[in-house]
Amino acid sequence: MTTVWIPHAKASMAGKVFLEALKKFPEDRSLAKNLLNNAVAATKEGYKVIIADEIKEGKLKEYLAQANKQLIFFAESIEGYKYEIEVMSSLPEAMAVLGLEVPE
């Protein structure tokens, strides 16, 4: 899951950079399945954007490399842009660590 924070005053710039990034970094569906695509909320801290992807088996390293390239592109283009990447487990994956299985 990636969370991004954009200052309110940089919203227009962020929109323009987003359109540029779509061309520069085409989506690679071989790496992940998109679950939540750029959900935006206006907060007192600025705009908060959340992206959630289910990364395909064996593709984590490649996915993170691509994600970081994209996010650094944004950070270099938009003053005050911040981001955080969290790698999370699905419930079945987390339960398997405990030696348990989620019933279907």
pLDDT at 96: 93
Give me the residues paired with residue 55 across strands.
Answer: 32
Residue 70 included in any domain: yes
Residue range 4-34, pLDDT digits in tens:
999 999 999 999 999 999 999 998 999 999 9
d(CA 104, CA 93): 14
Residue 104 included in any domain: no
Q: Please check the confidence at residue 69 and state whether its pLDDT lies above 90.
A: yes
Residue 32 included in any domain: yes
Residue 65 included in any domain: yes
Q: How much is the pTM?
A: 0.88
Residue 103 included in any domain: no
pLDDT at 104: 78
Residue range 32-68, pLDDT digits in tens:
999 999 999 999 999 999 999 999 999 999 999 999 9
Mean pLDDT taken over the chain = 96
Q: How many domains does the structure of the chain reveal?
A: 1
Q: Please check the confidence at residue 103 and state whether its pLDDT lies above 90.
A: no
Q: Hey, what's the torsion of the CAs at 43, 33, 24, 61, to 10 degrees?
A: 100
CATH of the domain at 85: 3.30.70
Determine the structural domain holding residue 21 and report its residue range.
2-97
Residue 44 included in any domain: yes
